[in-house]
Amino acid sequence: MPKSPSPAKAAVAKAAAVAKAAGSAKGPTGAKRDRQASPAKSGREAARAQGDLVPPPAEGSSASSSAGGDPVGGPATAGSGRATSAAAGDRGASGAVVRSGRLAVRKTYKLYIGGAFPRSESGRTYLVDGDNVALASRKDARDAVVAARKAQPKWAGATAYNRGQVLYRIAEMVEARRDEFLALGVAAGELDAAVDRWVWYAGWSDKIAQVHGSANPVAGPYFNISAPEPTGVVGVVAPASFLGLISVIAPAVVTGNTVVVLAAAPQVAVTLAEVLATSDVPGGVVNILTGHAAETAPWLASHDDVNALDLTGVADPALATELERAAAGNLKRVVRPPADTPDFTADPGLHPMTALLETKTVWHPKGF
């Protein structure tokens, strides 16, 4: 017992020294090299630069004095903890955080199918901003459709209240993983809007039937009631922005559809998948494929077991036309790509939900 504090203290001191060394050795040139490596990633870069601005010596001394037994040497608050890791390590060209003294655990961004995170059936990966990302094949799309189809009846059969609760839980979990999304370059404002959008759609789950359904006047002794029902399995080509991704997934699933999403920004989409996997969303309700939409989307568009296709993220008009043509094969519902750059911050209205609904009308005798 009396021995235990000393190794921990030693570890702290070591970590502080490491932080100091890394900070002084890297200096401004490290940041500069990063900037040159990936000029496009403005948000991510900004977060990293912010970390570099914290003076390493001060950080190191505060860690050794106040962190106590924390073996990693990180200070108590989350904010300065990020700063420490940024100062002590460098997310190099490989994308992995390298701390001296141990090998970094590199992350492969995998697919999300049926509630699991498999690699691509084809075994292919590709590099996105230095990260290894699974490159989905047509067979992954097929497997995802099978998973989505399997999950659909139960998801649609869940009460609207329950689906709303699950969507609200997603909002909570996105909020909880804020730092991860910020580190991936999602702007803070966009992240807030995305969380709000989940909550907004969660609220619609038990209201859409009242607004979109109707009791119809008919010339006969019948009640005539129209109620919206989910279409089934929806293939989605998602836009690149995080808010855009949320804005195509949420309206589809809130009404009881299940989706196969072809994601444009893989790291953010797979991190969202990790949120979904821990949010009580049943496996298969949302399936996320990373890779080239131009390769996989035609297979979704022509798939006889996909009931609707959302082309919001298709930028290439020729591809959109080809997909619409293929989708006509089994009369899928198609959400056509927006005419110009969509503004996802605007009020989406009901159309994203109603576009993926079918109306069931019931005639019921009044009984006289």
**Comparison of 138 and 336: residue with beta carbon closer to another protein:** 138
Q: Does 201 bind another protein (CB under 8 A)?
A: no
d(CA 353, CA 248): 9
Q: Does 329 bind another protein (CB under 8 A)?
A: yes
Q: Give, as ranges, the residues between 145 and 174 that touch another protein (CB under 8 A).
A: 145, 149
Q: Does 358 bind another protein (CB under 8 A)?
A: no
Query: Which residue in 111, 303, 311, 353 binds another protein (CB under 8 A)?
Result: 303
d(CA 143, CA 260): 10
**Region from 102-110, 208-216, 246-254, 325-333 binding another protein, contact rule CB under 8 A:** 325-333
Q: Locate all alpha helices (DSSP H) within the chain, ordered by sequence.
A: 5-37, 42-53, 56-66, 78-88, 138-157, 160-176, 178-183, 188-204, 208-212, 242-254, 266-277, 293-302, 317-327, 351-354
Q: Does 299 bind another protein (CB under 8 A)?
A: yes
**Region from 18-26, 253-261, 269-277, 303-311 binding another protein, contact rule CB under 8 A:** 303-311
**Comparison of 87 and 145: residue with beta carbon closer to another protein:** 145
d(CA 310, CA 349): 16
Query: Would you state the structure tokens that stand for residue 200, as one six-digit string?
Result: 């907004």
Q: Does 347 bind another protein (CB under 8 A)?
A: no
d(CA 347, CA 344): 8
**Region from 172-180, 213-221, 326-334, 360-368 binding another protein, contact rule CB under 8 A:** 326-334
Q: Does 305 bind another protein (CB under 8 A)?
A: yes
End-to-end Cα distance, the chain: 85
Classify residue 130 by its DSSP letter. T
Q: Does 221 bind another protein (CB under 8 A)?
A: no
Q: What sign for the dihedral angle of Cα 239, 129, 271, 242?
A: negative
Classify residue 112 by its DSSP letter. B
Per-residue binder mask for another protein (CB under 8 A), 243-282, x = binder: ----------------------------------------
Minimum distance, C-beta of residue 365 to another protein, in the bound complex (Å) = 28
**Comparison of 48 and 303: residue with beta carbon closer to another protein:** 303
Query: Which residue in 2, 77, 304, 349 binds another protein (CB under 8 A)?
Result: 304
Q: Ramachandran region of residue 306, left (φ > 0), alpha (ψ -120 to 50) or beta? A: beta
Minimum distance, C-beta of residue 305 to another protein, in the bound complex (Å) = 3
**Comparison of 304 and 340: residue with beta carbon closer to another protein:** 304
d(CA 85, CA 74): 8
Query: Which residue in 83, 326, 353, 357 binds another protein (CB under 8 A)?
Result: 326
β-bridge pairing 308-310 and 131-134? unpaired
**Comparison of 305 and 316: residue with beta carbon closer to another protein:** 305
Q: Does 113 bind another protein (CB under 8 A)?
A: no
Q: Does 332 bind another protein (CB under 8 A)?
A: no
Minimum distance, C-beta of residue 334 to another protein, in the bound complex (Å) = 16
Q: What angle do CA 190, 193, 198 make, to 5 degrees?
A: 125
d(CA 50, CA 7): 32
Minimum distance, C-beta of residue 342 to another protein, in the bound complex (Å) = 29
**Comparison of 57 and 329: residue with beta carbon closer to another protein:** 329
Query: Which residue in 50, 65, 330, 345 binds another protein (CB under 8 A)?
Result: 330
Number of shown-chain residues binding another protein (CB under 8 A)? 12
Please choose, from the candidates 248, 288, 244, 293, the residue with its C-alpha nearest in 3D space to the C-alpha of residue 267: 288
Query: Would you state the structure tokens that stand for residue 162, as one six-digit string?
Result: 């329950």
Please choose, from the candidates 320, 323, 302, 336, the residue with its C-alpha nearest in 3D space to the C-alpha of residue 142: 302
How crowded is residue 185: how many other Cβ atoms within 10 Å of its Cβ?
22
Residues that bind another protein (CB under 8 A): 142, 145, 149, 299, 302-306, 326, 329-330
